[in-house]
Chains A and B, each alone.
Chain A
Amino acid sequence: MTARISRTSRSAQVAMVIAALGLIVLAAAPWWAGRADLRLLGEIYLYLSLAMLWNLMAGYAGLVSVGQQAYVGFGGYMLFALTMFAGLHPILAILAGGVLAALLSVPIAALIFRLKGAYFAIGTWVMAEVFRLSFAQASSLGGGSGSSLPVDVVKSFAASRSGREALSYWLALGAAVVVIACVYLFLRSNRGLALTAIRDSEVAAAGLGINIWRTKLEVYVVTSAFTAIIGGLIFLQKLRISPDAAFSVNDWTAFVIFIVVIGGIGTLEGPIIGTILFFLLRETLADLGTTYLIVLGLVAIGIMLKAPKGVWGLIRSRFDLELFPLSYRVKSDNSDKGA
């Protein structure tokens, strides 16, 4: 009997096949789903993307931000500004918003990385407030009351309403797939391993010659760019933007944090499970309004205290499953071929 070390597992292979089949079914949704369902699914993909990105920052890089709404709103506003004033196609405007967010995030990081731990968190919130107040001053974008995406811009995106809805659905689905793939491949890369080393012990990682500040900066910049792109897609669905909606701490940070915490922070599967649970809860409890948010807060606190690795952590400890093969595992192998 020999042992070999491998990253793949049976459950991961099964998950890949199911995911591929599921993706095909979901991609065909414009043909089988109603208008409201399509919209809901699109929203789910975008929240899933935000949760993946926030999890990468907080769960892996230790950058616990409560100010990612800065980039969601920025991406949304760039969609409006670049289509209205620079005449860019909406998709190009959204991508350009991502690039601009990346550029902007570097000096911001230089400032707020001076704050440690929880103070970093509140610093990111201050930044988001600066964004909100600044865009509220921009009278050409409607100031405090915001503005709607002009009809000709909407038409340039897709001629018919159903065409527009299908296209923004596919963009949302595509964004979620790209974000999940990028986060997964990043975590498997040497950079990702460095990040895990930092999470496990900053001192030890520094001893191994990993430049902690630089690695965290890279994560922050890339996450900010993607978050802005998702923000652009969110407001492409909404077609209307205002400072309060764009930079809402509840919508773009509180919900995202709840999704990740409930699903399992610091795991790749966590945000997926969390998003599914979040929307199940929302669709069943949404009529309760504020009570729903209170329940959500209680569930998150309970999970943080009792099961800090979330629902996915509970599942994994019971069944030893891993859908995204990240960790190495030692396998016993009874065949002669074992290497």
Chain B
Amino acid sequence: MDWISAIVQGTLLGGLYALFAAGLSLIFGVMRLVNIAHGDLIVLAAYMGLSTTVMLGIHPFVALLIVAPAMAGIGYVLQRGILNRTLGDDILPPLLVTFGLSVILQNALLEAYSADPQKMNAGVIETASVPVGGLTLGVLPLLTFAIAVAVIAGLQFIFYRTSLGRAFRATSDNSDIAQLMGLNKAHVFGMAMALALAVTAIAGILLGVRTSFDPSVGGARLIFGFEAVIIGGLGNLWGTLAGGVILGVAQTLGAKIDPGWQLLAGHIAFLVVLAVRPQGLFPRVAH
């Protein structure tokens, strides 16, 4: 029963990892950009949530109503102000610029909030649990997983059922021809980053409610999100959820063997997938 419990806990943890990954996957899909600062942006969202809850005395989930639009705005400005200028055939500029951004964000957060670990207080929901078939599951992990499924379904809907999603796909296919249709590439990319960082806001708030965080934890969040994307297969959002779940289960099973093995087990699962199925488990079917 212990093992089943670990697998279920890992699955629910995978929801959080899928949320880390969804934004990463989205911007790669639209503009082939890999944002090294993604993890630090998740942490930034967590701190913004913290400040909002403390200053306004509101619940972290309510704070999302402020943090998500704020992160979206930051994303749009960041994309149009800086990142659009790095896009091109050369992969170095976007990589190095987002890397620089990562270092700036980390140190700016350090300056503003110090290195002390912080946590958001979500009240009774943190400790509440429900019995499910002999297992006791935390309400918060269940809610996190449900939110992850909803977010991915929402992104899927935006991508395939709205004119914004159509613009994303067209610009990703061929940005020159998309411009001939009257689509402003810079704006479309700005919207994609805004959407990605709105998702990041959700991930950051859930992270900050679940565990304590400090300015240095962004790198690991980037890596978890990245592993979920690669395990699931590039360009497939539901695959990313599956990738997150596999990573989460590997980590909880590893921790079950030895607490020191939690992260290592996740990385090993990723490397095994890379070795036997480098295109990921569920790659997008090419048209």
Interface of A toward B, CB cutoff 8 Å: 58, 62, 64, 66, 111-112, 114-115, 117-119, 121-123, 125-126, 129-130, 133-134, 136-137, 249-250, 254, 257-258, 261, 265, 290-291, 293-294, 296-298, 300-301, 304-305, 308
Determine whether the beta carbon of A118 is less than 8 Å from that of B95. yes
Interface of B toward A, CB cutoff 8 Å: 33-34, 36, 82, 85-86, 91-97, 99-101, 103-104, 106-108, 110-111, 219-220, 222-223, 226-227, 230, 260-261, 263-264, 267-268, 270-271, 274-275, 278
Q: Smallest CB-CB separation from A144: which chain B residue?
A: B260
Q: List 14 A–B pairs whose Cβ atoms lie within 8 Å, in order of A's numbering.
A: A58-B92, A64-B92, A112-B274, A114-B274, A122-B34, A122-B222, A129-B223, A133-B260, A291-B111, A293-B103, A294-B111, A304-B97, A305-B97, A308-B92
CA distance A115 to B270 in the complex (A): 12
Knowing A111-B271, A115-B274 touch, does A129 contact B263 (C-beta < 8 A)? yes
Determine whether the beta carbon of B34 is less than 8 Å from that of A261. no
Knowing A290-B111, A298-B104 touch, does A126 contact B267 (C-beta < 8 A)? yes
Determine whether the beta carbon of A119 is less than 8 Å from that of B86. no
Q: Smallest CB-CB separation from A130: which chain B residue?
A: B267
Contact of A118 among B91, B108, B111, B261 (CB under 8 A): B91
CA distance A137 to B263 in the complex (A): 12
Q: A58-B92, A290-B108 are in contact. List 8 more A-B contacts (CB 8 A).
A: A111-B274, A119-B34, A123-B274, A125-B223, A126-B226, A293-B103, A297-B100, A301-B104
Residues of B with C-beta under 8 A to A305: 82, 85-86, 93, 97
Q: Is the interface of B mostly helix, strand, loop or mixed?
A: helix
Determine whether the beta carbon of A294 is less than 8 Å from that of B230. no
CA distance A123 to B231 in the complex (A): 12
CA distance A112 to B267 in the complex (A): 13
Tell me the minimal C-beta distance from A277 to chain B in angstroms.
Answer: 15
Tell me the minimal C-beta distance from B160 to chain A in angstroms.
Answer: 24
CA distance A115 to B104 in the complex (A): 27
Tell me the minimal C-beta distance from B11 to chain A in angstroms.
Answer: 22
Contact of B227 among A64, A118, A126 (CB under 8 A): A126
Residues of A with C-beta under 8 A to B99: 66, 254, 257, 300
Q: Smallest CB-CB separation from A137: which chain B residue?
A: B260
Determine whether the beta carbon of A64 is less than 8 Å from that of B82. no
Determine whether the beta carbon of B223 is less than 8 Å from that of A64. no
Residues of B with C-beta under 8 A to A136: 260
Contact of B34 among A117, A290, A293 (CB under 8 A): A117
Determine whether the beta carbon of A121 is less than 8 Å from that of B34. yes
Determine whether the beta carbon of A133 is less than 8 Å from that of B267. yes
Tell me the minimal C-beta distance from B115 to chain A in angstroms.
Answer: 10
Determine whether the beta carbon of A122 is less than 8 Å from that of B226. yes
Determine whether the beta carbon of A301 is less than 8 Å from that of B100. yes
CA distance A291 to B108 in the complex (A): 8
Tell me the minimal C-beta distance from B71 to chain A in angstroms.
Answer: 20
Closest 9 CB pairs of A and B: A118-B34, A297-B104, A114-B278, A290-B107, A297-B103, A297-B100, A117-B91, A301-B100, A300-B100
Determine whether the beta carbon of A300 is less than 8 Å from that of B96. yes
Contact of A296 among B34, B96, B103 (CB under 8 A): B103
Determine whether the beta carbon of A121 is less than 8 Å from that of B107. no
Determine whether the beta carbon of A121 is less than 8 Å from that of B104. no
CA distance A315 to B106 in the complex (A): 32
Q: Smallest CB-CB separation from B91: which chain A residue?
A: A117
Residues of A with C-beta under 8 A to B226: 119, 122, 126
Knowing A121-B36, A137-B260 touch, does A301 contact B101 (C-beta < 8 A)? yes
CA distance A112 to B111 in the complex (A): 35
Residues of B with C-beta under 8 A to A129: 220, 223, 263, 267
CA distance A82 to B95 in the complex (A): 36
CA distance A293 to B104 in the complex (A): 7
CA distance A118 to B104 in the complex (A): 19
CA distance A290 to B123 in the complex (A): 34
CA distance A122 to B234 in the complex (A): 14
CA distance A293 to B92 in the complex (A): 21
Determine whether the beta carbon of B100 is less than 8 Å from that of A130. no
Determine whether the beta carbon of B107 is less than 8 Å from that of A293. yes
